[in-house]
Amino acid sequence: MTPKSLNLFVLPAIMLAIFLTIAVALWLSTGNAFYLFNFGYIGTALAIGMGVYAALPARKKPMGRRLAQFLIGTYMLVFLGLLQRENMQIEGFFFYLLAGIFAGSVIHYLVAKIVGVFIFNRGWCGWACWTAMILDLLPFKRHKTEPLAAPWWGLRYVHFGLSLGLVAWLWWGTGYRVEMQSVTELYWLVVGNLLYYVIGIGLAFVLQDNRAFCKYVCPIPTLQKIPARFALLKIAGNAEKCNDCGACNKMCPMDINISGYIQQGRRVLSTECIMCLECINVCAKDALFVNFGNDREVR
Ligand code: SF4
Ligand code: SF4
Ligand code: SF4
């Protein structure tokens, strides 16, 4: 059975409606108008980026994604992180959970990196992350080197374990307690992000791959992988149109064997997919599209 495609002009409207629903629901249930502004802004920025993507010709489409990345990434890092002094690093998320504080950071992780992934897949990584918005500026979009061997993919789990261990030691071992909007929060965010940027840019040049940090070091996919497997939004394809040229595989920043899935009549099930849509752009046969549904309908 052929999977249904989602019209790329309809997607921005759907995204905006979802974010506005979240904004109103949180505003009404907490009485805090900030949620209205926050999710209204993010939904609007995403819809603008997706609208620009849909409107531009294929060669220029990535500009729409980059626009959304900058509108959302800088807002979250500069406004929520640096000005509001919220520790948006993964350690901040763990600390707020331990302290029982329903901080903006916790909502961000739930919406963008855990629960929301069941719907949007890893769209955060393709369209909004403030680390990747810098990494995607580097010159190695189509990396020339082979992906690293399997053991290196485990680094992200080591990173996740070290972050969790550090938080546990500080919390139970030293009695450290998080103080909202303190200078410590700000330092943690600034130093953590600088480290991410330095390691991410260094790895990109060493491995000639803009997204090397995302593939091997970042701990966030550890949280995303299970919901991403069951995500409603995925890339799908029409096997009858696909001539197995491999252009999409070469373009994919996450090294996914896209044509393999399409030839098997399946959606792209890989939990590495960041929904960047580069594969759709590059396919001369117009065989790929965004699909909202479940995996049974395309087998
Ligand atoms: S893997 Fe990490 S650094 Fe890369 S886009 Fe996702 S959250 Fe950002
Ligand atoms: S670029 Fe299109 S035609 Fe070529 S392998 Fe990918 S899906 Fe098939
Ligand atoms: S499969 Fe397509 S949308 Fe997913 S990461 Fe690769 S190029 Fe991007």
Please tell me the predicted confidence (pLDDT) of residue 4.
Answer: 53
Task: Report the C-alpha gap between 218 and 71 in whole angstroms.
Answer: 22
Among 242, 263, 264, say which to mutate for ligand 2: greatest number of ligand atoms within 8 Å of CB: 242
Task: Report the C-alpha gap between 61 and 50 in whole angstroms.
Answer: 9
pTM: 0.93
- Is 80 exceeded by the pLDDT of residue 3? no
Please tell me the predicted confidence (pLDDT) of residue 296.
Answer: 58
| Angular region, 255: left φ>0, alpha ψ -120 to 50, beta rest | left
Name the DSSP class of 121: T
Angle in degrees, 0-180, between the axes of helices 183-207 and 90-99, rounded to the nearest 10: 150
Percent of the chain whose pLDDT exceeds 70: 95
Place 155 in a pLDDT band, splitting at 50, 70 and 90: very high
Task: Report the C-alpha gap between 112 and 118 in whole angstroms.
Answer: 10
Residues 6+ apart with CB under 8 A from 159: 217, 218, 219
Fill in the amino acid letter for 188: W
CA of 221 to the centre of ligand 3 (A): 15
Task: Please give the distance of CA 243 from its chain centroid, rounded to a whole number.
Answer: 30
Please tell me the predicted confidence (pLDDT) of residue 178.
Answer: 87
- Tell me the chain's radius of gyration from C-alpha atoms: 19
Place 292 in a pLDDT band, splitting at 50, 70 and 90: confident
CA atoms within 13 A on the CB side of 293: 18
CA angle 2, 19, 237 (to 5 degrees): 15
Average pLDDT of the segment spanning 81-85: 89
Tens of pLDDT along 200-243? 999 999 999 999 999 999 999 999 999 999 999 999 999 999 99
The closest ligand to the CA of 241 turns out to be: 2
CA of 144 to the centre of ligand 2 (A): 19
Please tell me the predicted confidence (pLDDT) of residue 60.
Answer: 92
Place 104 in a pLDDT band, splitting at 50, 70 and 90: confident
Among 282, 285, 289, 290, say which to mutate for ligand 2: greatest number of ligand atoms within 8 Å of CB: 285
The closest ligand to the CA of 245 turns out to be: 2
Task: Report the C-alpha gap between 37 and 42 in whole angstroms.
Answer: 9
- Is 80 exceeded by the pLDDT of residue 9? no
3-state secondary structure of 290: strand
Domains of the chain, with CATH numbers? 10-227 (no CATH), 236-298 (3.30.70)
CA of 240 to the centre of ligand 1 (A): 34
